[in-house]
Amino acid sequence: MRVLFVQHQDDCPPALVGERLAMLGATVEVVEARAPRLPDPAEFDLIVPLGSDDSAADESLSYLRSEWVLIERAVQSGVPVFGICFGAQLLCRVLGGSVRPATGGPEIGWLPMLTSDTEVVEPGPWLVWHLDVMEPGPGSVAVARTAVSAQAFAHGRHLGVQFHPEATVASVRVWAEHYRNSLDQLGIEPTALLEETQCRAREARLRAHTLVDRVLARAGVAV
């Protein structure tokens, strides 16, 4: 099994998702979204575009078109895509959905999901951290939501999750420092968020691993 991660920034690595795939014996490759040339998705069994503090609706991004083409070619070639945060939002757009800024500002925290299909996405809580929201398009089915927006959608063999199953304590520590303004806007104390992340670390790892297994089973990818 060959898996391609598309990474946008150092603080959004494959982490727990990559960990589980490696445990299952996958050959994991990571490419920077801003690379001069992105690989042919048809050479892989699964494509995983990761998170970013950029907006998937920002057409001025220098790399947006090349990553769009990669995801589009994956879909056309029958290669399943598992989008995470920005990656889910871009997948949503490629499949005919939309992405826009959240009207109430950032959505951040360990939040439970209203889940219509617990065999795909468990109710959580999952770590949510985003400024934009997505609305799945025709042929896509929202399978998890918060009161603010859709948090996960399925489209055939593809799955997009706006939350962060890959996140670790180290990830959240960096995000809490870099994006302190967002936390202040919501009245979230960084220390409290880190403590909650540490308390949930074991269950979050197990939940992330289970989600990866379900993504592979849904996509029909042999391990």
Closest CA to 175 of 45, 17, 15: 15
Q: Could you give the dihedral angle defined by the CA atoms of residues 110, 115, 118 and 123, in that order, rounded to the nearest 10 degrees?
A: 20
Name the β-bridge partners of 46: 3
Instruction: For residue 178, indicate whether it is catalytic.
Output: no
Instruction: For residue 177, indicate whether it is catalytic.
Output: no
Rg over CA atoms, the chain: 16
- Check residue 31 and report its DSSP letter: E
Instruction: For residue 189, indicate whether it is catalytic.
Output: no
Q: Which of 8, 130, 158, 164 is catalytic?
A: 164
Tokens describing residue 152 = 């996960």
Name the β-bridge partners of 101: 132
The answer to whether 67 touches 89, Cβ cutoff 8 Å, is: no
Q: Which of 85, 92, 130, 158 is catalytic?
A: 85
CA end-to-end span of the chain: 6
- Check residue 186 and report its DSSP letter: H
Point out the residues that are catalytic. 85, 164, 166
